[in-house]
Amino acid sequence: MSEPQIVEEVVEGVGYTVAPLDVLGEGYGFRKIRKALGVEAFGVNALVLPPRYEAGAHFHDEQEELYFVHAGLIELEFGDGTVQRLGPGGLARVAATTVRRLRNVAHEDSVVLIVGGRGGYVGRDAHLPEGEHRAGGPID
């Protein structure tokens, strides 16, 4: 059996959609992940920021957000004046009504995944399919 190829376009299957971020837009700004992948349960976008760029401040009425720094170095400035710096792998949860501003403090592009939603955690609702006897393990 041959090894699967790396996905290079939007591919839809029964109950899933996969895509590389680069095909969801070009240049700087938002990459609309929710619409492209058909996500219905929460909002999700990627933000590509040019070097040494500051985005405008904003807040939300209801939507809590989670920021994940995929690449680069960003600062999040909050309404109380606090500034937090995050590198690749950094995470920040921000309450809906908290004012926030992102800035790319790196000398290269930064990529941030932003997930937003409201309504809370649904609990542990994962199940093993029929015939599956383990949840995972090492692969060869």
Residue (of 34, 121, 102, 113) closest to 67 by Cα position: 113
Task: Give the pairing type, strands 100-104 and 91-94.
Answer: unpaired
Look at residue 136 and tell me whether its pLDDT is greater than 80.
no
Regarding pTM above 0.85, the answer is yes
Alpha helix segments (H runs only) across the chain: 33-37
Domain boundaries, the chain: 27-117
What was the pLDDT predicted at 139?
Answer: 79
Question: Distances in Å between the alpha carbon of 80 and those of 5, 48, 76, 96, 98?
Answer: 47, 25, 11, 14, 9
Q: Which CATH superfamily is domain 27-117 in?
A: Jelly Rolls (2.60.120.10)
- Judge contact between 36 and 74, C-beta under 8 A: no
Question: Distances in Å between the alpha carbon of 59 and those of 6, 29, 46, 96, 139?
Answer: 37, 18, 17, 6, 43
Pairwise pLDDT comparison (11 vs 137), residue with the higher score: 11
- Cα separation, 30 vs 49, in Å, equals 9
What was the pLDDT predicted at 117?
Answer: 95
Q: Which two tokens stand for residue 83?
A: 């500034």
pLDDT in tens, 20-37: 999 999 999 999 999 999
- Cα separation, 112 vs 108, in Å, equals 13
Beta-bridge mates of residue 30: 47
pLDDT in tens, 58-116: 999 999 999 999 999 999 999 999 999 999 999 999 999 999 999 999 999 999 999 99
